[in-house]
Amino acid sequence: MKSKVFLILTSLCLWWSGASAYADEEPSRTIHLVYDDSGSMIHDDAGVYLDTWCQARYSMEVVAAMLAPQDELQIFYMSSYASAPYVLYGKDGAAANVEKIHTRTMQYSQTTPFKAVEKAFGAFKPNDEREKWLVVLSDGVFEDTPQDKVEQRIHAFAKSSSTQVAMLAMGNDGPTIAADPTAGVYYERADSRHILDKLTKISNQIFKRHTLEVSPNHTVQFGVPMRELVVLAQGRDVRINGLIAKDGTRYASVSNVHASSDYASAAENIKHPELVVPCALNGYVAQFEGAFAPGEYTIDVSGADSVVVYFKPNVSVAAYLYPYGSDAAKPIAADEKLVNGRYDIKYGLVSATPDRTPVQDVTLLESDGQKIVYTPKIINKTPDGAENEIVYHPNKPIEIQEGTLSIRVDAQFLKYTRVFSEYTYDVHYENELVWQVLEQPRYGLTVDGFDNATEPLVLEVRMKTKDGKTQPLTAEEWGKMPATPSVVQVLADEVEPEAQTRIDSFHIEKVETEIGKYRIMPKLLPEEADRFKTRQFKQFRYEVSAYYKNEETGSTAHGYYEGKAEIEDKIGTIDRIREWVNENPVKTALIILMILALIGYGPQKKRLPKTITIKMTAERTKLGKSKRVPEKKEPDYGRYVRHGVGVPWPICRSHKADIHFDGVFPTMQVRASNEKYMMTVLNPKEFESVCPKLLKRPNINYTSWKFDGEDEKKFYKYTCRLTANAQKK
């Protein structure tokens, strides 16, 4: 805890002792701090002495140490709140302000009045545009205002103005309010050992601090140029000797301030001989300024128990202007002649040094979870005095007219840091090249690409002058036109990407014998000729642009044309399926297996019962003139055997079975019928001699059935009867 105490205390030289390129971007603050200097800060009701007073004074020093040069801190002591506050100015320096609090004689009161908070809030000036913070440190309940009223008033302070309120309740008897950070109300509670921990959390809401990670061997690395590094080192015999770059370059500090905690004089001033004073702490704060390039640096420090490094980046923002469709490596210079037309804009962070080197690694500037926000503003002022603001969209060109062009790009990062760059160009008029389509074929798409790929798009280019007239190019102008103008594919936002072809390249040729004519032939990317992938293709969009310049006269002309070519899909369904199968062998195999499974075990299969009990009986009656003498025979039981039901893949077929008889009857062959609970006898003719009716009715109900058959011959009449009962399927 004591280490943390010193770490916060020794921040006194960090924020901000010198002129800063970003000082005008970080808000000015006026902080009104209400300090509870009642007797309970020194001892409790039983007379036991406490160190709360000492911890609280450290807390005030933390706030004072964090003041930027443009900030102001007013301290309202509860013992003397009716008097003028104790005012500290950031411009006086952190060391001087901390010293004022450190040595000030304390006058402790016997009460904890909320009127002191009311007085501190009322002291804010209504028209003050600075960021306003009301900080309250108290270890007891306010005696002149009920608890619920205190909470209402605190929230009213934040609601009625732009004031943000932070309260730290010290000890169990401190006031309690509900925090609402969205409304600007912050609340923390801490015992005497954790006052500084909690105040650190509150102070970080006020002063945004950014640190570098320090390795055990006291090195730091950063990918962003730096203009200031501040080192805090703590230890009983600590010394900061300098900063060393990886190439051996040594940097001396511009300030190296010693800080310690010694409240012996304060104890004498308070006149409490038994006053609790914590042990002394010791450390140094060194400030290094310059243009530190990205890389690794070593802090030359000895006797340090802990080391913390704060930083300020040394970056700016740059915007670059390129002719649209150009592959130029260098952007257009600010003093370069600019003509009307379409241009690309790119921007990014650069070093604030004269070389303006682009920053490659911005991770450190996004360490707080907030991305770098770029805000471009583009104004094109035409000769008639109209100011047109051009809306910028990434990866899309801007179109500018004759007049002046101003570009400003702002970059916001690390909460309050904002940099910007401005550029101004004079825009001169340039003759316009006007394009017209003469021939535009409808391309047929096959599995091998376009079936008429050799049929060109034919375009004609003409000259449009400042007076608005369009005229054919002269032979001299045509001779100076490029042989291969720029042609690119355009993916329109309103069209689904899969509905457009991807063009590998355009072959464009100048028709030398016909002034103003160009032929363009598109070529598909190889993968776009795939059968399956081309199912959505309907069109492709293209843009052609050219630049003309007469070196002798200095006249120039530029123009572009965006066209659209229709595509007829000529790829058959079988080709698409075949291509898909070739590209997706695993999926195809799985689909085939699923189909076979449906076929083999599908619900359309007709099934026979698992078992059937069968009995067939035959009678022979001897024919005579006076009487018939029947000759009885015992029933013959059949043995029922199903076919193929045990195979793993029965496929889609109806069950078959054989019914074997051991007697005079032949084997009966049956198959499951399409009708429910029915089966068909497949060999009824074999039963013709004993059961002739089977020939007429081969379908029989297998759940409970019987049939009779008769055959009359010369001396005998035969009768058979077949009965059965099914068990289950």
118 three-state secondary structure: helix
Rounded CA Rg of the chain: 48
Cβ atoms of residues 176 and 139 within 8 Å: no
Separation of alpha carbons 5 and 281, rounded Å: 8
In this structure, what token pair is assigned to residue 416? 């309050």
In this structure, what token pair is assigned to residue 178? 């509900």
* pLDDT above 50: residue 69: yes
Angle, alpha carbons 63-251-223 (nearest 5°):
75
Compute CA distances 498 → 310, 534, 718, whole Å. 50, 8, 81
Strands (E), 274-392: 282-292, 295-302, 306-313, 315-323, 338-339, 341-351, 373-381, 387-390
pLDDT for 8? 33
Query: With 0-12 CB in 10 A as exposed, 13-18 as middle and 19+ as buried, what is 485?
Result: buried
Sign of CA dihedral 435, 436, 438, 440: positive
* 646 part of a folded domain: yes
Cβ atoms of residues 13 and 284 within 8 Å: no
pLDDT for 22? 30
In this structure, what token pair is assigned to residue 565? 């070519």
pLDDT for 305? 83
Diameter of the chain measured on Cα atoms: 155
Whether residue 201 sits in one domain with residue 58: yes
Cβ atoms of residues 718 and 690 within 8 Å: yes
Average pLDDT, stretch 350-357? 88
Strands (E), 392-549: 398-400, 403-413, 417-428, 431-439, 443-446, 449-450, 457-464, 470-471, 486-490, 503-510, 517-524, 539-549
Average pLDDT, stretch 636-647? 74
Cβ atoms of residues 622 and 715 within 8 Å: yes
Sign of CA dihedral 406, 412, 416, 421: negative
Q: What is the mean pLDDT of the chain?
A: 77
Average pLDDT, stretch 397-421? 86
701 three-state secondary structure: strand
* 580 part of a folded domain: no
Domains in the chain: how many in total?
A: 5
More confident residue, 566 or 48: 566
pLDDT digits (tens, 9 = 90+) for 450-494: 888 889 999 999 988 777 788 999 888 898 888 888 888 876 554
Q: What percent of the chain has pLDDT over 90?
A: 13
Separation of alpha carbons 308 and 318, rounded Å: 32
Whether residue 118 sits in one domain with residue 31: yes
Cβ atoms of residues 452 and 365 within 8 Å: no
Separation of alpha carbons 445 and 451, rounded Å: 6
* 603 part of a folded domain: no
Separation of alpha carbons 551 and 169, rounded Å: 79
In this structure, what token pair is assigned to residue 7? 């770490």
Whether residue 241 sits in one domain with residue 126: no
Compute CA distances 659 → 20, 480, 614, 644, 667, whole Å. 106, 99, 8, 15, 6
Whether residue 536 sits in one domain with residue 398: no
pLDDT band at 519 (very low <50, low <70, confident <90, very high): very high
Q: Which residue has the tokens 């320096």?
A: 93
- Which has the closest alpha carbon to 703: 614, 639, 617, 636? 614
Q: What percent of the chain has pLDDT over 70?
A: 74
Whether residue 641 sits in one domain with residue 538: no
pLDDT band at 329 (very low <50, low <70, confident <90, very high): low
* 236 part of a folded domain: yes
Whether residue 88 sits in one domain with residue 163: yes
In this structure, what token pair is assigned to residue 719? 């009768």
* 585 part of a folded domain: no
* pLDDT above 70: residue 634: no
* pLDDT above 80: residue 86: yes
- Which has the closest alpha carbon to 549: 483, 484, 477, 487? 477
Whether residue 647 sits in one domain with residue 514: no
The DSSP code for 40 is G
Final residue belonging to a domain, choices 267, 290, 313: 313
Whether residue 444 sits in one domain with residue 354: no
Final residue belonging to a domain, choices 176, 209, 242: 209
pLDDT band at 520 (very low <50, low <70, confident <90, very high): very high
Which residues, in sequence order, are bridge partners of residue 243?
Answer: 251, 299
Whether residue 377 sits in one domain with residue 295: no
Query: Assign residue 395 a region: left if phi > 0, alpha if psi is -120 to 50, beta otherwise?
Result: left
Q: Which CATH number is 166's domain given?
A: 3.40.50.410
Cβ atoms of residues 621 and 716 within 8 Å: yes
* pLDDT above 70: residue 414: yes
| Backbone dihedral angles phi then psi of residue 103, each to the nearest 5 degrees | -105, 0
Which residues, in sequence order, are bridge partners of residue 507?
Answer: 521
Angle between helices 147-160 and 115-122 (to 10 degrees): 10
Angle, alpha carbons 693-694-698 (nearest 5°):
135
Q: Which CATH number is 387's domain given?
A: 2.60.40
* 147 part of a folded domain: yes
Separation of alpha carbons 81 and 79, rounded Å: 6
pLDDT for 197? 61
Strand 29-35, strand 72-77: pairing: parallel
Average pLDDT, stretch 406-435? 86
Beta carbons within 10 angstroms of residue 355's beta carbon: 7
Cis-peptide into 16, omega within 30 deg: yes
Cβ atoms of residues 213 and 364 within 8 Å: no
Calculated CA dihedral for residues 597, 602, 605, 609, nearest 10 degrees? 90
Cβ atoms of residues 62 and 199 within 8 Å: yes
Compute CA distances 186 → 53, 177, 369, 383, 643, whole Å. 22, 9, 21, 55, 84
In this structure, what token pair is assigned to residue 248? 């051996």
pLDDT band at 671 (very low <50, low <70, confident <90, very high): confident
Whether residue 224 sits in one domain with residue 181: no
Whether residue 372 sits in one domain with residue 447: no
* pLDDT above 80: residue 111: no
Average pLDDT, stretch 666-670? 87
Domain encompassing residue 95? 2-209
Q: Which helix (H) or strand (E) holds 62?
A: helix 52-65
Whether residue 563 sits in one domain with residue 488: yes
Calculated CA dihedral for residues 471, 477, 479, 485, nearest 10 degrees? -80
In this structure, what token pair is assigned to residue 478? 């045509």
* pLDDT above 80: residue 603: no
Final residue belonging to a domain, choices 386, 409, 428: 428
* 595 part of a folded domain: no
* pLDDT above 90: residue 222: yes
* 594 part of a folded domain: no
Angle, alpha carbons 271-274-279 (nearest 5°):
105
pLDDT for 20? 25
Separation of alpha carbons 482 and 484, rounded Å: 5
178 three-state secondary structure: coil
More confident residue, 80 or 249: 249
More confident residue, 204 or 12: 204
pLDDT digits (tens, 9 = 90+) for 250-288: 999 887 766 555 555 555 555 565 666 654 546 677 778
